[in-house]
Amino acid sequence: MYGFTSLLLLGSCAFQSVLGRPDVSRARRDGVLLQRAVNDFIATEEKIAIEQLLCNIGSGGCNSQGVSSGLVIASPSKSEPDYFYTWTRDAALVFKAVVERFANEYDGSLQTEIANYIISQAKLQTVSNPSGDLSDGRGLGEAKYHVDGSAFTDGWGRPQRDGPALRAITLIGYSKWLVANGYTSTATSLVWPVIRNDLTYVAQYWNQTGFDLWEEVNGSSFFTTIAQHRALIEGSALAKTLGTSCSACDAIAPQVLCFLQTFWSPSSGYTLANTNVNNGRSAKDANVILGSIHNFDPSLGCDAATFQPCSDRALASHKVVVDSFRSIYTINSGIAAGSPVAVGRYPEDTYYNGNPWYLNTLAAAEQLYDALYVWQSSGSITVTATSLAFFKALVPSVTAGTYASSSDTYTTIYNAVFLYADGFVDKVSQYAQTNGSLAEQYDRNNGSPLSARDLTWSYASFLTAAARRAGVVPAGWAGTNPAATSVPGTCFATSQAGSYTTATVTAFPTGQTPSGNQTTTNTFTTPTATTSRASTTTGSCPQVSAVSVSFTVKKVTTYGQTVKIVGNVDKLGNWDTSKAVALSASQYTSSNPVWSGSISLSTGQAIQYKYIVVNTDGSVTWEADPNRAYSVAASGCESTATKTDVWQ
């Protein structure tokens, strides 16, 4: 499920092509300095981000006095602007990040927050509001509520149809963890009823217009549609796992995917953010970048139908959206094409005079980190006519084609994209407050924070971007369902009505800790409920056939050097240093000089290996004898493992 494949060395050849500078040593130095600056920023900001995110969750958060348990406030700001409400969309995206973090490393305190969130959402589903109520599902399309969970009845852009889909996705993510760790009955009796209502809403109302994620455009939104498709596919799979079904999911998902294709404009060369509108905008919008990253499934590769982050459609759109802000923001002035800039919502934006947003600048980085992960996993990069402009902005000499990871062109492209991604994070570092606080926006003229302070979504966006950079990716959602990527020949604007039932979850059982050997922190302590742990423990859990082993070694290096791992099996080059696997220096700091990367090994496999340093002139330095040894467990449920070494 998780694991990192290696980042490449920022080598001298790559930098000369990437940055277009004659001074190769200067280019290499600047790149390494940027990488290490971003490392240091992430190391400092991550703790701040998770703390501030939790501060904005009721009822115990430091900014959440008076907020009901489990509800997420968009921001502590109560005036100019007043964001002291809970939005269904924002809360789902925040908890999507929390669930991913929890699934990667068990944390009892996060599990408590997740449980409280699920309980709070079950209650919100029953609240009658201006959009409607639960009887016909219309009330689920309401955008925001007061912090005590009561209906917001003033004028607003409603309905907003992305919320139910995103909430379903988030709750499905936690349900997968429950099932994998033997708590199927909890997922079935407590979480599924909430998910089922949201999936029913998606299947019934997906083909009706609504307001977009920025709450301004009433039409058909790419961001909403792509989330709806994923929710139906993933919901169908979970239903089967729980011994039930979602026939509406199966019937409607292919048509949602079919409709999703209409957002791609071949004549324009980018994905249109909104359709079925006539508002005079260009439809260039960070909406499409956000849609792509929240639809990321590492197993789908660079699939264009689902607009995967490394697909040619998504990369072409990334360039168009980012470039739309190059000339309109003063803080972007003088920045060359192909270099990172501050990213806003859409170029015609006038809210607070239209500024860059932290979460959109981070999303631009996250999409590229997603792409890097897939390229390393697949061992190649494909440049098409559609994505060529994106790649040529970074590597002017590149042409359309497929480049294997053993080629110089692959290395040049990979390094260029990695530096490009880091540059967006560096923009956030530059314009964040000195205490690490992330507001909603930063001023287009001087970069000072603007609008709502401590935006919860900003912190969630930082956490997911940092995780992707570190090679921590979420579990896939597509599975083996052909409806995930197979576009029907003909689209039908069909929908399927269903019934809605009040979900009555009021508490979660205690002691639901991992059944495997995950790292455990804190203790999960919520009130006792009647649900018991299923009997699927060790021996009946899904047995893995391969394990992604993360190898980490501490080795001080100098500019231009890279650390690789080589060993006695094919995946480690069979002791051939030219086929050794390059490790990543993405977390390297002067105080913690670590290089890391992941190798997929078969269960029960025993290997021997060593680390080597490849110098700028191509010469190789081996570490001292003896050979290292490692054996993968012969059986088990864990798909990841870690091996930590120090250069000998």
**Residue 647 known to bind ligand:** no
Q: DSSP per residue over 359-389, as a string?
A: HHHHHHHHHHHHHHHHHHHHTEEEE-TTTHH
Residue showing tokens 């009330």: 139
Amino acid at 575: W
Which tokens hold the place of 62?
A: 């430091």
Distance CA 234, CA 407 (A): 37
Residues sharing a CB contact under 8 Å with residue 217, sequence separation 6 or more, in sequence order: 211, 274, 277, 279, 281
Residue showing tokens 């500024």: 355
Are 117 and 61 spatial neighbours (Cβ–Cβ below 8 Å)?
no
* Three-state SS at 582: strand
Q: How far is CA 183 from CA 121, 509, 531, in A?
A: 20, 10, 9
Q: Which of 212, 228, 327, 325 is nearest to 275 (CA)?
A: 212
The residue annotated as part of the active site, out of 46, 215, 623, 638, is 215
Are 532 and 185 spatial neighbours (Cβ–Cβ below 8 Å)?
yes
Distance CA 160, CA 157 (A): 7
The residue annotated as part of the active site, out of 100, 212, 250, 422, is 212
Which tokens hold the place of 405?
A: 């990871």
Tell me whether residue 216 is one of the annotated catalytic residues.
no
* Three-state SS at 220: strand
Residue showing tokens 């809360």: 91
Distance CA 617, CA 615 (A): 5
Distance CA 274, CA 293 (A): 17
Q: At what angle do helices 192-205 and 162-180 cross, to 10 degrees?
A: 140
* Three-state SS at 331: helix
Amino acid at 285: D
Which tokens hold the place of 483?
A: 């409806």
Residue 515 burial class via C-beta count within 10 angstroms: exposed 0-12, middle 13-18, buried 19 and up: middle
Instruction: Give me the phi and psi of 598, to 5 degrees please.
Output: -115, 145
Residue showing tokens 């499920």: 1
Which tokens hold the place of 188?
A: 């079935």
Taking CB atoms within 8 Å and a gap of at least 24, the contacts of 133-136 are 134/197, 134/500, 134/502, 135/500, 136/500
Rounded to a whole number of angstroms, the distance between the first and last alpha carbons of the chain is: 31
Distance CA 479, CA 612 (A): 37
Amino acid at 457: W
Strand ranges inside 123-211, DSSP E = 144-145, 210-211
Q: What would you report as the CA-atom Rg of the chain, rounded to the nearest whole angstrom? A: 24
Tell me whether residue 46 is one of the annotated catalytic residues.
no
Q: Residues comprising the binding site for substrate?
A: 156
Catalytic residues: 212, 215
Q: Residues comprising the binding site?
A: 156
